[in-house]
Amino acid sequence: MSLAQPNHAWLEALRVQRERRARALAGWQAGIRKSVDLPGLASRAPALGTPEPFLAARDANALPLALALARELGDVAAARAESRALEALAGGQVSVELELLALPEALRELPICVDRRRRALLAKAVDDALRAIEHHQAEALERRLESRTRLELSSENALNPLLGFELGALAADAERILRETNDAAHDLLEFRFRRAGVDAGRGGAGHDFELALQLLDLREHLSPHRSLELARELARGVGLDPRGIAVDAEARPGRVPGLVVARFGANELAVVAAPLGTPADGETLARGVGEAIHLALLDGDDAVLIDPSLAKSTGWILARPLVEPAWHRRVLRNPSRPAHELAQAFALRSLFALRLAAARFLVARELANQGPTESAKDHARSRINSATGVDGPATGCFALDVIDCASELRALLLSERLHRALIEHADEDWWRNPHASELLRAHASETSLNRDSIVGSAPELAKLLSGFIARAAN
C-alpha cells in the first residue's frame, strides 16, 4: 500500500493507539482490575479523533487506512461511555439465594453450572445485573453512529466501498442462512436437549451452555485442561509455529469470559481467553491461536489495516478439525463412538455459530439504521432467540457494531472456502499435513490481492449450508 508521508504519521499513531487500547482491554478482561481509561488513551492521539486523517486517506484512495481511521474515530467518540460500562460491569454484584457474587465470577460459573435450579437463578440474576450497563452501551453506539455521520458514512452505499463488499448482499445471505437452516437446526437442537435431559424452555440460560452440555459427559475424552496443548498441536499439525504467541487462559478473580486476540507491539501478540471449564472452551482457544498466528504472519502496517474477517477465518480453520471424527481418533486416541459424539457435538456448535453470526449481523444492521431504541432491542431479542432456539436475554445487543458483526459472518463463510481449498491442496486429513501451511500463509500474505485464486470462488450458498447441516446431523 502506497501512502503519502502525512498518512504514514497517522498510520503510526493509529498503530500505537490500537496497541495501547489492546493492552488495557486485554488486561481488564483477564481480571487485572485497574481502571481502563479509554478517554485518556484517546487523548494521546488527538488527530485520530478528527475527520481530517480519514478524509485525506480517502482522497488518496488509501481505503484500508481510511476505514481503519473511521473505526478509530468511532472508538474515540464512544470511549467515555465504554469506560463507564466497564466500570459498572467490574463492580456488579449478583444475588443468588443467600449468596452475593461479583458479576465476573457469576459469568464464569454460569457456563459450567449443571444444577438446574441454581443455573436458572444465576441466569436471571446475571441478566438483571447486566441491564445496568445497557444505557452506557446505547450511548457508545450513538456516538459511533454520530461519528459515521460526520464522515458521511451513515448510508451503506457510502460505507460499502471502504469495506470492499456490499452490506445489502451480505444481509440477503444472512436472511437465507437463517431461513434455510431453521428447521434442521431446531430439530437437531431438540434431539440433543432430549439426550442431555435439558428442558430448553426453562431458565433462559443461553445457547452456549445448552450446546456445551452435550460435551460435559465427554470430558474424559476431551479434557478442558488439555485445551492449550491441543490448540498448539493443531497449529503445528498444519506446519504453523505457535511459539511467540502468549496465551492467558488462567482462572483468576474478576476475569470476564470471552476471547481477545491482540497485538501489543511489533513482535508481541497475545490471546486472552476464558478460563478452561468445558471441552467447548478448547474450540475458543484454538480459534484465538489461529487468529494470532495469522496476525503474526503480517508486518505491523498490514496487521493494523487487515480486514478482520481474514484473521478470524484462519481461527475457524484451526478449530475445524474438532468436527472431524478422524482427528479425535488419531490425536486424542479416542474409540470410535466418543470420537463420533465429540465431532458431532462440535459440528452442531458450528451450525449454531453460523446462525448466531447471521442474526447478530442483521441486528447490528438494523441498529445502525434505527439507533439504540427499545423497539430495536425487542426485535434484536426476537431475532437472536429464533436463531439459537433458546429464550435468552437481549442484554448486550447495543454493543453490536455492523462492521464487526459483518466480519464475524464473513469469516465463517470464508473458512468454508478455505476448508475446501485445504482438502484439494493437502487431502482430507489436511489437519496433519505440514504442507497445509503453504496455503494458509498465502491466505495471510499481503500480496494475496486476488483471494479467489487461493481459496477458490464462493460455493453456492445452498451447498455450503447443506454441508453445515450434514456434519451436525451425521
* Angle, alpha carbons 138-371-35 (nearest 5°): 20
* Angle, alpha carbons 160-374-177 (nearest 5°): 45
**54 against 191, higher pLDDT:** 54
pLDDT for 448 equals 58
User: Tens digit of pLDDT for each residue in 386-431?
Assistant: 888 776 666 788 999 999 999 999 999 999 999 999 999 898 999 9
User: Tens digit of pLDDT for each residue in 126-145?
Assistant: 888 888 899 999 999 999 99
Instruction: Report the distance separating Cα 298 and Cα 403, nearest Å.
Output: 22
SS3 state of residue 167: helix
Instruction: Output the CA–CA distances (angstroms, integers) from residue 27 to 35, 165, 278, 398, 402, in the order listed.
Output: 10, 33, 23, 23, 26
pLDDT for 1 equals 42
pLDDT for 166 equals 96
Instruction: Report the distance separating Cα 280 and Cα 359, nearest Å.
Output: 21
Q: How many CB atoms lie within 10 A of CB 302?
A: 15
pLDDT for 203 equals 44
pLDDT at residue 6 above 60? no
pLDDT for 210 equals 66
User: Tens digit of pLDDT for each residue in 430-447?
Assistant: 999 999 999 999 998 865
pLDDT for 447 equals 56
pLDDT at residue 320 above 80? yes
With a pLDDT cut of 70, the percent of the chain lying above it is 93
User: Tens digit of pLDDT for each residue in 154-185?
Assistant: 999 999 999 999 999 999 999 999 999 999 99
What's the residue count for the chain? 474
pLDDT for 2 equals 43
**108 against 294, higher pLDDT:** 294
pLDDT for 178 equals 97
Sign of the Cα pseudo-torsion (143, 145, 146, 148, in order): positive
pLDDT at residue 470 above 80? yes
Instruction: Report the distance separating Cα 327 and Cα 238, nearest Å.
Output: 13
pLDDT at residue 363 above 70? yes
What average pLDDT does the structure give for the chain? 87
pLDDT for 5 equals 47
User: Tens digit of pLDDT for each residue in 217-265?
Assistant: 788 899 888 888 999 999 999 999 888 888 888 888 888 888 889 888 7
What's the pTM value of the predicted model, to 2 decimals? Answer: 0.93
pLDDT for 199 equals 63
Sign of the Cα pseudo-torsion (324, 325, 330, 332, in order): positive
pLDDT at residue 198 above 80? no
Q: How does residue 43 score in pLDDT terms, banded at 50, 70 and 90?
A: confident
pLDDT at residue 7 above 80? no
Name, in order, each residue with C-beta under 8 angstroms of 445's C-beta and a sequence gap of 6 or more. 297
pLDDT for 390 equals 72
Rounded to the nearest angstrom, the gap between the alpha carbon of residue 23 and the centroid of all alpha carbons in its chain is 18
